[in-house]
Amino acid sequence: MFNVRPPFTRAGWYKWMVVGLLWVAGFFNAVDRHSIYSLFPVFEKELGASQLELGLLGSGFLWAYAMLGPFAGYIGDRFPRRKVIIISVLCWSLTTALSGFSNSTNMLIALRVLLAVCEAFYLPTALAMLSDHHSEATRSKAVALQISAMAIGQVTGGFLGGFIGERFGWRLVFFGLGGAGLLWVPVLAAALYGPSKSLAGKAEVKLQKPLLMAVADLVRISSLRLLVIAFVCYSMVGAIISTWLPYYLFKAFRLSLTAAGFSANFYLEVPTSVGNLAGGAVGDYFAARNFRGRMLTQAGSLILSAPFFVVLATAGDFKQVAGGLILLGFIRGAWASNVMPVICQIVPENLRATTYGIMNCLGNVSGGVAAIIASRAVGTRLGMGTAFASCGLLYWIAAGVLILAAWTYLKRDFRVQAANSIELVEQRGDTK
């Protein structure tokens, strides 16, 4: 009785309804994760948090999120993705609400780690579900919308964290955000389903191999190894920016707590969300014409956006910082919206969540290290500027690796994946 699908899930427009349902979930995911960074000065004052402890609030989350990544992705491939997503949203919303009861920095760090455990299962599974519902013609646009939700959620989290924390106290931030997420859980339970055979010509393909065997299969894909290196570089940059940019603006330009939290996210993440959509459309356009199109779109966006980190490093006033963030955000947007679509080009469909989980693991471990290293530089404007400038170098390294992959291994791996897809279709036909 509980597995009966509502009739609307067979409609042609349902794949876009799935995008909408996951857009809201992804928005809450990012708000809950990023609202805490705007509260760092409050934690210094009320909880006596040191700079190291503030760094651990960011890095502790990233490391726990990373450690769960491969297993979380594997669960998303092994079990019904709908159930994995619903349980993840439920658990992270409860954990966010519980964070409001923290009475020490250590307790807050522990709950941040628990939040990471809960959220780790969401993104790999959600992106895999979107890829299941969408073909090559619309996949990047669907993924771009999910990524844009998280970018807008980061902006909202930064604003709400500073605004509510400054006026009503930091505890209300966690109580309110956790409660909002809990209200979305029954909506997902009622409306979110995987693709039906009548809609996409296939059902979800469950992974049957043990995790270590699945990882061994993925390691053999040469272009995927290079994509992972690029992902790690991008993640290191993201960790430095998301963790320390609000604090940097607060200290270096003497913005208020609300203004620093809002500005660090608004001027970067809103243009990024627009860039995600534009980059998704560009990726879909070039992918229809050449199999290298998506990966080269990613490389181009990183090459062009890297110089704007120099603006952050050398800006003399806040207006220059805001302008640099806007251009950086828009141009870099084509990266994220094409990651899962590139994975779909070279990885079998029953290994895609596992792949993204592994990449999240490696990216967030590296990002956590990068955030801690950057914490040694936040004491001076020159030091933080140097950290931002190094982010541009990491983008260029990532772009070079992507170009190498596109012109060496991608063609072979693309053909192998096409053959694997045909084999999976035949296996489904044998089991009907």
Q: In sequence order, which residues have a C-beta less than 8 Å from that of residue 170 and are 6 or more positions away? A: 39, 42, 43, 46, 161, 164
Q: Is residue 251 part of a domain?
A: yes
Q: What is the count of structural domains for the chain?
A: 1
Q: Using an 8 Å Cβ cutoff, are 63 and 365 in contact?
A: yes
What is the structure's pLDDT at 255? Answer: 78
Cα(408)–Cα(224) distance, rounded to whole angstroms? Answer: 12
* Coil, strand or helix at 254: coil
Q: What is the pLDDT of residues 66-83, one digit of tens each?
A: 788 888 888 988 888 899
User: Tokens at residue 318, please?
Assistant: 């806040």
Q: How far is CA 197 from CA 20, 173, 205, 351, 425, in A?
A: 21, 43, 12, 20, 12
Q: Is residue 379 part of a domain?
A: yes
Q: Is residue 1 part of a domain?
A: no
Residue 260: pLDDT band with limits 50, 70, 90: confident
Q: Is residue 341 part of a domain?
A: yes
Q: What is the pLDDT of residues 362-408, one digit of tens each?
A: 887 888 788 777 777 655 555 677 777 888 899 999 999 999 999 99
Cα(49)–Cα(69) distance, rounded to whole angstroms? Answer: 28
User: Tokens at residue 411, please?
Assistant: 């063609």
What is the structure's pLDDT at 404? Answer: 95
Where in 122-230 does DSSP place strands (E)?
A: none
Nearest to 265 by CA among 35, 9, 7, 11: 35
Q: Using an 8 Å Cβ cutoff, are 52 and 178 in contact?
A: no
- The one-letter amino acid code at 46 reads E
Q: What is the pLDDT of residues 319-342, one digit of tens each?
A: 888 888 899 989 998 898 899 889
What is the structure's pLDDT at 383? Answer: 64
CA dihedral 417, 218, 340, 61 (to 10 degrees): 170
Length of the chain: 432
**Average pLDDT across the chain, whole number:** 83
Q: Count Cβ neighbours within 10 Å for each residue of 238-269 and write b for 16 or more, e otherwise.
A: bbbbbbbbbbbbbbbeebebbbbbbbbbbbbb
User: Tokens at residue 256, please?
Assistant: 């208020």
Q: Using an 8 Å Cβ cutoff, are 148 and 19 in contact?
A: no
CA dihedral 249, 335, 193, 79 (to 10 degrees): -100
379 or 55, which is more confident: 55
Q: In sequence order, which residues have a C-beta less than 8 Å from that of residue 368 and are 6 or more positions away? A: 58, 59, 60, 62, 63, 66, 239
Q: Using an 8 Å Cβ cutoff, are 383 and 376 in contact?
A: yes
Tokens 């931002």 sit at which residue?
388
Show the domain range for 368.
7-195+208-431
Whether the per-residue pLDDT at 227 is higher than 80: the answer is: yes
Whether the per-residue pLDDT at 186 is higher than 90: the answer is: yes
Q: Using an 8 Å Cβ cutoff, are 133 and 198 in contact?
A: no
Whether the per-residue pLDDT at 22 is higher than 90: the answer is: yes
Q: Is residue 200 part of a domain?
A: no
Cα(159)–Cα(282) distance, rounded to whole angstroms? Answer: 30
Q: Is residue 202 part of a domain?
A: no
217 exposure class (CB count in 10 Å sphere: 0-12, 13-18, 19+): middle
Q: Using an 8 Å Cβ cutoff, are 291 and 345 in contact?
A: yes
Q: Is residue 263 part of a domain?
A: yes
Cα(14)–Cα(85) distance, rounded to whole angstroms? Answer: 17
Q: Is residue 365 part of a domain?
A: yes
Cα(143)–Cα(18) distance, rounded to whole angstroms? Answer: 11
Cα(346)–Cα(340) distance, rounded to whole angstroms? Answer: 10
Cα(422)–Cα(426) distance, rounded to whole angstroms? Answer: 6
Write the CATH number for 171: 1.20.1250.20
Cβ neighbour number for residue 79 with a 10 Å cutoff = 16
Question: Which stretch of 29-33, 152-156, 218-222 has the lowest confidence by average pLDDT?
Answer: 152-156
111 exposure class (CB count in 10 Å sphere: 0-12, 13-18, 19+): buried
Long-range CB contacts for residues 309-315, cutoff 8 Å, separation at least 24: 309/388, 309/389, 309/391, 309/392, 309/395, 310/389, 310/392, 312/385, 312/388, 312/389, 313/385, 313/386, 313/388, 313/389, 314/385
Cα(347)–Cα(261) distance, rounded to whole angstroms? Answer: 38
